Amino acid sequence: QVQIVESGGGLVQPGGSLRLSCAASGFTADGYAIGWFRQAPGKEREGVSCISVPDGTTHYADSVKGRFTISRDNHNNTVYLQMNSLKPEDTAVYYCATPVTLVGGTLFGPHEGLGSWGQGIQVTVSS
C-alpha cells in the first residue's frame, strides 16, 4: 500500500518562507509525476505544482510561479515544495498526490483507488 506523508507546514508571516516535504513509501514513483494541491476554506482544490520523477520536468500554477519551487530526491522518494514570498491567499491545506496528470495546463490528481493522496498539511500565512 502506497503511503504519502506531508510535513513542514505551519504559520508564517506574509513574505516569509516554508518548505513542504512529501515522503512516499511502499512504491517507487519511477515513470510518474508527483504533485502538490491546495484547498482553502470555501474554495475548490487547485493544483499548485508537479514534477516528473524520471526527468524532473516541472509545472507551476500561475498563482505561484516565480515564488514556489518544486524539487525531488529520487533516492529518498521525497518531493519538496519551497514556498517563498508567501501571501495570505496562499493559506490552505496542502496535499501531495501521485500519480498526477497535466491536461491543458490544469493539474489533476488521481481518482480514488488509482493513486495516493497525503493527509494534508495546514499552511497559514498571517501577520
Please list, residue by residue across 90-106, b when 16 or more beta carbons sit within 10 angstroms of its beta carbon and e when fewer do. Answer: bbbbbbbbbbbeeeeee
Digit-coded pLDDT (tens) for 106-117: 999 998 888 899
Q: Which residue has the higher pLDDT, 25 or 110?
A: 110
What pLDDT is stored for residue 28 in this prediction?
60
Written as one letter, the residue type at 29 is: A
Residue at grid coordinates 482553502: 40
Which of 19, 82, 22 has its CA nearest to residue 53? 22
Q: Report the C-alpha gap between 107 and 96 in whole angstroms.
A: 12
**Dist. CA 87–CA 119, nearest whole Å:** 23
